[in-house]
Amino acid sequence: MSYSRLYDFCQTLTPHIHRNNIRDKVKELAGVPSLRVAKTALNVELCRGFYLSGRNKSHPLVQQFGCHLIVLPREGLNRCEERFVFVKELMHIFDSPLEATDTGDAFERLLSEFIAPNTKEHSPQMTSEIKCFWMALGALCPEENRKKFKAERDKSQIDDYSIALKLRIPQAYISHLFIPKFEELINLLINPQNT
């Protein structure tokens, strides 16, 4: 499974992991010849970035950028936020066909789920949004480093701000690295057949 191989690759890297390295490995694993990134005006209160894959090869945007495009805001995100947004969107290249948002109905449902998540059941599209968040965390923090940070954090020798600086990811997401089920979550992502 491609994310499993990406995860293994990231374990060999030293934080802070460069986006170009993750991007190039994802392209190789997914067999994607081109992935483009464009920055434009985006109100980060409403959307901090998006990934899209266009199928109409006659469309000017697909002709210019190829099939895979990630759009990021020109302003409004600090470097750590932008790094995380990009890597999370990049993970959607691994989405299964079932998880793809490929109809207007699926798109509307996804937007409504962001506003009011269904507590009982998520759409496959929303499930992939959640998965890719954890996939990004797993890619940006090698397990050896995570365990070391955890040991130091448990002894109050390091705080979340310092860990965020070392990883160059938003401080808001650091605590997620240390939830009791983190290893279990990552194992489900790298070994999905075990679900």
List interacting residues with another protein (CB under 8 A): 16, 18-20, 23, 36-56, 59-62, 65, 67, 69, 71-72, 74, 83, 85-86, 88-89, 92, 95, 99-104, 107-108, 110-112, 114-115, 125, 128-129, 132, 168
| Angle subtended by helix axes 182-190 and 124-140, to nearest 10 | 110
Q: Quick one: 136 or 153, whose CB is closer to another protein?
A: 136
Task: For residues 180 and 160, give the distance between their C-alpha atoms in angstroms, rounded to a whole number.
Answer: 16
Query: Least distance in Å: CB of 140 to another protein?
Result: 11
Q: Quick one: 34 or 175, whose CB is closer to another protein?
A: 34
- The two beta strands, 36-40 and 68-73, are parallel
Q: Quick one: 140 or 153, whose CB is closer to another protein?
A: 140
Q: Quick one: 45 or 121, whose CB is closer to another protein?
A: 45
The two structure tokens encoding residue 137: 């965390």
Hey, which residues does 72 pair with through a beta bridge? 39
Which residues fall within 8 angstroms of residue 144, CB to CB, at 6 or more apart?
A: 11
Task: For residues 159 and 162, give the distance between their C-alpha atoms in angstroms, rounded to a whole number.
Answer: 5
Query: Least distance in Å: CB of 157 to another protein?
Result: 26
3-state DSSP call for residue 70?
strand
Q: Quick one: 9 or 65, whose CB is closer to another protein?
A: 65
The two structure tokens encoding residue 176: 């997620």
Query: Least distance in Å: CB of 57 to another protein?
Result: 9
Query: Least distance in Å: CB of 126 to another protein?
Result: 10
Residue 122: is the preceding peptide bond cis (ω within 30°)? no
Query: Least distance in Å: CB of 17 to another protein?
Result: 8
